Amino acid sequence: MSSQPKALVLNAPGINCNLETGFAIEQAGGIADQVHITQLESGDKRLDDYQMLVLSGGFSHGDDIASGRILGLELRQRLPEELNTFVAAGKAVLGICNGFQVLVESGLLPYGRIDDFEDKSPGTSLTTNATKNFDCRWGKLFIPPSVCQFIPDSWESSVVELPSAHAEGHFRHDYLDELKENGQIVFQYCDEAGLPTTDFPANPNGSVAGITGICDASGVVLGMMPHPERAVSPWQHPNWRRGEGQNPFGVVLFNGLVDYASEL
């Protein structure tokens, strides 16, 4: 295929990080097409024409009922076959912050298929932060070995920094051992020693085992609460004047995403 894979950056009412996310994809060598959910539903745009589906951050549908629930329901009810076919073909899906919440609500995470969401209790949720507050800060993340297709092997067991900004990022899952055994845990908030933690403020939401990013068992659907699109230039780091943030991890992640998609 073309050396420039195409990403469908999904838009919906309340999404507000789509342009930054599209910029990050294009900086990595991909093509970012901003597509509204209604264009997919009407058939004006076809998911099959893309190698990447990216759901960015924001407050889709005002976070009514729960974060990501309405948009997740739209995907589950109106586009299940298209999404299942997309994932089954090994194409890349990335959900950031609200996008992660949408993927969980749709059932694409952690199971990789929407109909699996209907067949059994999902057992997965992103709920209100343990502090009951919206929290916006940079933090350290541990990258455990995982099956995620977008993380270079050389970065496994590393500690990186990314910014987070959310009120409902407390990750819960009924089958944690299953996630660990399958290599589906991709990011964990960690302390200064690089150990996963539930303690505030290193962990801004109290997620069990510090989990803040997971993928499906095939490694092609990734959801994460931190914002890699806000870490693609050194000057975005709060201490860039002191020389920190010179190798922003957002560049690594989006390069990995686009490199993977370019082989499809």
Within a domain: residue 211? yes
Within a domain: residue 100? yes
Mark whether 166 is an active-site residue.
no
- Residue 94 dihedral angles phi and psi, to the nearest 5°: -130, 125
Within a domain: residue 214? yes
Q: What is the pTM of this model?
A: 0.96
The answer for residues whose C-beta is within 8 angstroms of residue 157's C-beta and 6 or more apart is 142, 143, 144, 145
For residue 43, what is the DSSP state?
Answer: T
pLDDT of residue 115: 80
Name residue 13's amino acid. P
Within a domain: residue 1? no
* CA quadruple 207, 208, 211, 214: dihedral, nearest 10: -110
Name residue 220's amino acid. V
Return d(Cα 220, Cα 214) in angstroms, integer.
11
Instruction: Map residue 145 onto helix, strand or coil.
Output: coil
Within a domain: residue 13? yes
Name residue 20's amino acid. E
For the chain, what is the domain count?
Answer: 1
- How do the pLDDT tens digits run along the chain, 264 residues long? 557 999 999 999 999 999 999 999 999 999 999 999 999 999 999 999 999 999 999 999 999 889 999 999 999 999 999 999 999 999 999 999 999 999 999 999 999 999 855 544 458 899 999 999 999 999 999 999 999 999 999 999 999 999 999 999 999 998 899 999 999 999 999 999 999 999 999 999 999 999 999 999 999 999 999 999 999 999 999 999 999 999 999 999 999 999 999 999
- The one catalytic residue among 170, 215, 229, 237: 229
Count the neighbouring beta carbons within 10 Å of the beta carbon of residue 191. 16
Count the neighbouring beta carbons within 10 Å of the beta carbon of residue 242. 8
Beta-bridge partners for 189 = 141
Residue 45, domain extent: 6-262
pLDDT of residue 121: 45
- Token pair, residue 191, equals 């302390």
Return d(Cα 17, Cα 164) in angstroms, integer.
13
Mark whether 229 is an active-site residue.
yes
Count the neighbouring beta carbons within 10 Å of the beta carbon of residue 261. 27
- Token pair, residue 69, equals 């629930």
For β-strands 185-189 and 135-142, DSSP reports them as antiparallel
- The one catalytic residue among 17, 97, 148, 215: 97
Return d(Cα 10, Cα 86) in angstroms, integer.
14
Mark whether 97 is an active-site residue.
yes
Domain at 98, CATH number? 3.40.50.880
Within a domain: residue 51? yes
Within a domain: residue 248? yes
The answer for residues whose C-beta is within 8 angstroms of residue 88's C-beta and 6 or more apart is 113
Angle between helices 69-78 and 98-106 (to 10 degrees): 40
- The one catalytic residue among 61, 170, 227, 237: 227
Count the neighbouring beta carbons within 10 Å of the beta carbon of residue 80. 18
Within a domain: residue 107? yes
